[in-house]
Amino acid sequence: MTTRRTLLILVALASFALVGCKHSSDKSQGSSGGSKNITLNGAGATFPFPLYSKWTSEYNKLHPNIRINYQSIGSGGGIRQITAGTVDFGASDAPMKPAEEKKAPGKLFHIPTTIGAVVITYNIPGVTGTLKLTGDVIGNIYLGKIKKWNDKALTDLNPDAKLPDTDISVVHRTDGSGTTNVFTDYLAKVSPEWKDKVGVGKSVNWPAGLGGKGNEGVTGQVKTNPGSIGYVELAYAIQNKLPVALIKDKAGDFVKPGIAAITKAAAGVKLPESLHISITDPEGKGAYPICSFTYLLLYENAKDPVKGKAIADFAWWGIHDGQKFSNALDYAPLPDSVVKQIETRLKMLKANGKPLLK
């Protein structure tokens, strides 16, 4: 009996030790919340959606316990949802206005994640070449002043294109859009008439055209409507095999949107304390004129420490390892100097008064 009792005690102690080891191992798994399953919900800009889709997939491979859902609903929707607290993080290409920030229940940080280009794409029957456009011509098309593809302003820029005597069908966004904000910000800088009559915003009173929801909607409208022209993020045009125009830069050259030209648009940029800045119509030869940073919107003080830690870790990964996925999806990686500024801001994220990152 004594021997049997001793054996039982030894087995029990061994089992306890194994359980203890397992618990210890569980605590060390992953960078966010150990092995506990965590779901994060975000919503906002369509501009970075191709990149964010890749990020969430790759991050889940590294951290199977972290699932990130991102809804591509437009920057305006992202701002509204993060303000209402219906998502864990928001996303926008358009920085929040002071009035929007006041509506939020806490301080929101703008975290730059990548740099992209808004391109002019078109569907002109019989024209396969690449169009050349200037800012004032684009403005006049969207003002409804240039109505035909063979308008002299267009044929002078494109003498070999054989542009047809057909109507131009202008396509724009119908939702609150950061892409629209970037596009109208550019037009306001190059067209005094646009600045006076229409202005800058996520939503504006369009003088002409058809509407599409999201970058996806505008891309679809252009692809299916002969004679149309629209503005979309570069990745959407490339993925749908749509042509993109060359746009004249400040140096007088017609620039093709691409990684090198996008990178030049952000060359030498030092972000202000807010970490958001306009880089449309930049100085510098070969800089594509319609580029922008895009931002995650994160509360400085997280209500849920576990989710807050998970979001902070994901954002940290995004501005570092996540940048290697940018080029393949036609976004430009963040400059090293900008990454350093973002690191400082991310280290200010906290929950219950304690930093989420060290």
Total number of domains constituting the chain: 2
Tokens 């009559």 found at: 197
Q: Are residues 42 and 93 in the same domain?
A: yes
Range of the domain at 339: 37-114+293-355
pLDDT at 31: 53
Q: Are residues 163 and 281 in the same domain?
A: yes
According to DSSP H, which parts of the chain are helical?
A: 2-28, 49-62, 75-84, 98-103, 135-142, 152-157, 178-190, 192-197, 214-224, 234-239, 259-265, 305-319, 336-346
Look up residue 289 and give its two tokens.
């004129």
Q: Are residues 237 and 328 in the same domain?
A: no
Residue 151 is assigned to a structural domain of this protein: yes
pLDDT at 57: 98
pTM of the model: 0.88
Asked if 52 and 92 count as a contact pair (C-beta separation under 8 A), the reply is: no
Residue 1 is assigned to a structural domain of this protein: no
Q: Are residues 237 and 125 in the same domain?
A: yes
pLDDT at 18: 34
Rounded Cα distance, 256 and 245, in Å = 7
Rounded Cα distance, 357 and 350, in Å = 8
State which of 270, 291, 312 marks the end of a domain: 291
Report residue 225 CA to chain centroid gap. Answer: 26
Q: Are residues 152 and 248 in the same domain?
A: yes
> Amino acid identity, residue 155?
T
Q: Are residues 269 and 128 in the same domain?
A: yes
Q: Show pLDDT as tens, one digit a residue, over the chain (358 residues).
A: 444 333 333 333 333 333 333 333 333 334 555 568 999 999 999 999 999 999 999 999 999 999 999 999 999 999 999 999 999 999 999 999 999 999 999 999 999 999 999 999 999 999 988 999 999 999 999 999 999 999 999 999 999 999 999 999 999 999 999 999 999 999 999 999 999 999 999 999 999 999 999 999 999 999 999 999 999 999 999 999 999 999 999 999 999 999 999 999 998 899 999 999 999 999 989 999 999 999 999 999 999 999 999 999 999 999 999 999 999 999 999 999 999 999 999 999 999 999 999 8
Residue 21 is assigned to a structural domain of this protein: no
Residue 16 is assigned to a structural domain of this protein: no
299: CATH: 3.40.190.10
Rounded Cα distance, 271 and 200, in Å = 21
pLDDT at 129: 87
DSSP 332: B
Residue 8 is assigned to a structural domain of this protein: no
Q: How many CB atoms lie within 10 A of CB 318?
A: 24
Q: Are residues 253 and 163 in the same domain?
A: yes
* Torsion sign over Cα 346, 184, 258, 244: positive
Tokens 């399953």 found at: 37
Tokens 């740099």 found at: 115
Q: What angle do CA 170, 188, 229 make, to 5 degrees?
A: 15
Tokens 């920085």 found at: 95
Q: Are residues 279 and 158 in the same domain?
A: yes
Asked if 285 and 251 count as a contact pair (C-beta separation under 8 A), the reply is: yes
Q: Are residues 300 and 233 in the same domain?
A: no
Q: How many CB atoms lie within 10 A of CB 139?
A: 23
Residues 6+ apart with CB under 8 A from 294: 45, 47, 48, 91, 92, 93, 112, 113, 114, 115, 116, 178
Residues 6+ apart with CB under 8 A from 184: 194, 198, 199, 200, 201, 204
Residue 14 is assigned to a structural domain of this protein: no
Residue 307 is assigned to a structural domain of this protein: yes
State which of 291, 307, 341 marks the end of a domain: 291
State which of 235, 270, 291 marks the end of a domain: 291
pLDDT at 1: 40
> Is residue 18 classed exposed, middle or buried when 0-12, 13-18 and 19+ CB atoms within 10 A define those classes?
exposed
DSSP letters, 261-311, are: HHHHHTTT----TTS----SS-SSTT--SSEEEEEEEEESB-SSHHHHHHH
Q: Are residues 75 and 202 in the same domain?
A: no
- Of 330, 182, 329, which Cα lies nearest the Cα of 258? 330
Residue 184 is assigned to a structural domain of this protein: yes
Q: Are residues 344 and 196 in the same domain?
A: no
- Of 272, 248, 246, 268, which Cα lies nearest the Cα of 258? 246
Q: Are residues 98 and 167 in the same domain?
A: no
> Is residue 211 classed exposed, middle or buried when 0-12, 13-18 and 19+ CB atoms within 10 A define those classes?
middle
How does pLDDT run across 216-235, given as a tens digit for each residue? 999 999 999 999 999 999 99
